[in-house]
Amino acid sequence: MYDPWIAERMKCFDASGIRKVFDLGAKLTDPINLSIGQPDFDVPEAVRRAAIEAIESGKNGYSVTQGAPVLRDKLQRRVDEVYGHEDRQLFVTSGTSGGLLLALMALVDPGDEVIMFDPYFVMYDALARVVGAKIVHVDTYPDFRIDPDRVAAAITDQTKLILVNSPANPTGTVADARDVRALAELAAERNLVLLSDEIYRDFCYDGPFVSPAEFNPRTLVIDGFSKNYGMPGWRLGFAHGPGAIIQEMIKLQQYSFVCAPHPLQWAGAAAMDLDNREAIDAYRRKRDMIVDGLADCYELATPRGAFYAFPKAPWGSGTQFVEKAITEHQLLIIPGNVFSRRDTHFRISYAAADETIERGIDALRKLMRQRPSSGANAM
């Protein structure tokens, strides 16, 4: 029975399916962990040192809500150089997740329709429901390509926002430049907000990253430092877009997160001076390990970015396959229905040591030949 003290909005979603996998994995003695969506490399030394220096020099109070000038001004200059828009303002958020929540709260009223692509990052669906949105899923199976014609067909008079993520979690797909442009122009033509989650923008392995903001100045971009500098626990992100939207998000931040962690903003400013190509090259090689190890025996759309692969389960449902992977092979992966209305695939995170990836590939090749002896229980 649901506790009557709990708000109705909490019935919109369940505990994360990823957490359920972690609960199962906690019982394992030597897990092969290909489940966690965070880099396996540490924060660079120069960035750690900048954080320590900021703490020791007294940068421990609140910063201004929109972000400490040492970081915000540096980010603004970079964004201005890239886009050259007359009206593109920026502020520092408490992680990209904080930025997403502020964006949806500032833009979406109950009953408004939010278009997102299936598969989707688990948080998109949950946060959209929290603000009372009606979610419209645009299917991208089997190749996970964004089809602007499908998006156009999904737009109604109630559509308010389109949410796009490229490179994408959970599929690793990088949207084609032509599709990005067509989507951006469609949003502009229909006067819709286009919200682009670009947290994986540095992790593009086969070509340059393309943002819809290049083609539509009213695109709202959410970005951050968690992935490219190995600092997800530092909760440091930023948002940039039209001033009218950014100012409303800043107003909300005043009454919620207040500001991003102040000393870590100084560290973020130091991170911007570093070259992270070595880390990106390492993840390109890890991507190749996964593709070379699995493409001959799994239906797998080659991931072009981020650090995920999204193969189709070779038998059973995605949930059944993952349960067997965990219980019989100590392999932690995530069932596809955590990210999708379908339960046919599973997510691999190759943000892991090479040895762990090799063990995971070996387990997956063994699993391909197995069939459940009887109906597997759903997780």
- pLDDT tens-place values along the chain, 379 residues long: 567 888 888 877 776 666 667 677 777 888 999 998 899 999 999 999 999 999 999 999 999 999 999 999 999 999 999 999 999 999 999 999 999 999 999 999 999 999 999 999 999 999 999 999 999 999 999 999 999 999 999 999 999 999 999 999 999 999 999 999 999 999 999 999 999 999 999 999 999 999 999 999 999 999 999 999 999 999 999 999 999 999 999 999 999 999 999 999 999 999 999 999 999 999 999 999 999 999 999 999 999 999 999 999 999 999 999 999 998 999 999 999 999 999 999 999 999 999 999 999 999 999 998 876 554 444 4
Q: Residue 195 CA to chain centroid, in angstroms?
A: 13
Q: Which CA distances in Å does 113 have to 22, 183, 222, 337, 365? A: 32, 17, 20, 22, 42
**Closest by Cα among 137, 341, 375, 89 to 239:** 89
Q: How far is the C-alpha of 84 from the C-alpha of 210, rounded, in Å?
A: 15
Give yes or no for a contact between 304 and 146, defined as CB atoms under 8 angstroms apart: no
pLDDT for the residue 1: 56
Q: Which CA distances in Å does 273 have to 71, 208, 305, 328? A: 11, 20, 23, 46
pLDDT for the residue 378: 42
Q: Which domains does the chain have, with CATH numbers?
A: 8-42+276-368 (3.90.1150.10), 59-271 (3.40.640.10)
CB atoms inside a 10 Å sphere around CB 222:
26
pLDDT for the residue 379: 43
Q: How far is the C-alpha of 307 from the C-alpha of 173, rounded, in Å?
A: 10
Q: How far is the C-alpha of 37 from the C-alpha of 19, rounded, in Å?
A: 12
- β pairing state of 346-349 and 334-335: antiparallel
Cis? peptide before 261, omega within 30° of 0: no
Q: How far is the C-alpha of 294 from the C-alpha of 377, rounded, in Å?
A: 26
- Helices and strands in the chain: count of H runs, count of E runs: 12, 12
pLDDT for the residue 15: 67
Identify the residue whose tokens are 């003290």. 5
**φ, ψ (nearest 5 deg) of residue 274:** -95, 155
Beta bridge pairs of residue 238? 92, 223
Here the tokens at position 261 are: 């962690």
Q: How far is the C-alpha of 337 from the C-alpha of 317, rounded, in Å?
A: 9
Indicate the DSSP class of residue 226.
T
| Distant-in-sequence, close-in-space partners of 34: CB < 8 Å, separation ≥ 6 | 331, 332, 333, 348, 349, 350, 352, 356, 357, 360
